[in-house]
Amino acid sequence: MAAVAMLTVATLAVHAGQPVPKKSTEPRPPAPATATAEKADTTLQRMEATPPERREELRAIAKTAAEQADRSIREMQLRVDASWARMTAESRRAALGWMSTLRTKRQRLGEQIARLDGRSNAALGEVKAGVVAAYREFTKALERTREQMQSKPPAPPAPARPVDDQEKTR
């Protein structure tokens, strides 16, 4: 939106014979990952605040958390897939490792959610703690993965090594 406004102002300035204003030096808004982290924090707080006796509400919150986790994994996988061709072998291995960690954490979250069924009310406190811990582990792994992907952009392929005259004659 700001780019459109700058373009409009620049166009009007050119037509009016005025100098074109310089680009704004204001800081950009935070990346969307912050909104996802805040949503995860809110979900975690809702899970922690729900008493174990309210099994259905706890299950609904946990199901929403699992759906958020699945969406996040899909988004991260799309990012990896989009940059795969530009990645070095080392970057590819790292990305595969990050995605594997996320899937493992998501699987553990699913296992903990499944434990909500068939438990007595007395045991639900322990199960709830397991669900909360599994979701917390997943969100931490997701944030680490996002940070690592931001700090380690895919490297371009290494340039071909020039062949010297001695190697040509061999």
List the chain domain ranges: 32-151
Does the pTM surpass 0.95? The reply is no
96 contacts 81 by C-beta, under 8 angstroms? no
Range of weakest confidence among 16-20, 25-29, 69-73, 107-111: 25-29
The matching CATH number, chosen from 1.10.3470, 1.20.120, 1.10.357, 2.60.40, for 32-151 is 1.20.120
Contacts of 152 (CB under 8 A, 6+ apart): 91, 94
Question: In whole angstroms, how large is the CA radius of gyration of the chain?
Answer: 25
Q: Is the pLDDT of residue 32 over 80?
A: no
Scored b (16 or more CB within 10 A) or e, 121-140 reads eeebeebbebbbebbbbbbe
Residue, of 147 and 3, whose pLDDT is higher: 147
* Predicted local distance difference test score (pLDDT) of residue 153: 53
Token reading at 39: 């949503």
- Chain position carrying tokens 């594997």: 100
Considering only the C-alpha atoms of the chain, give the largest distance between any 2 of them, rounded to a whole number of Å. 81
Q: Is the pLDDT of residue 91 over 80?
A: yes
For 163, phi and psi rounded to 5 degrees?
-95, 125
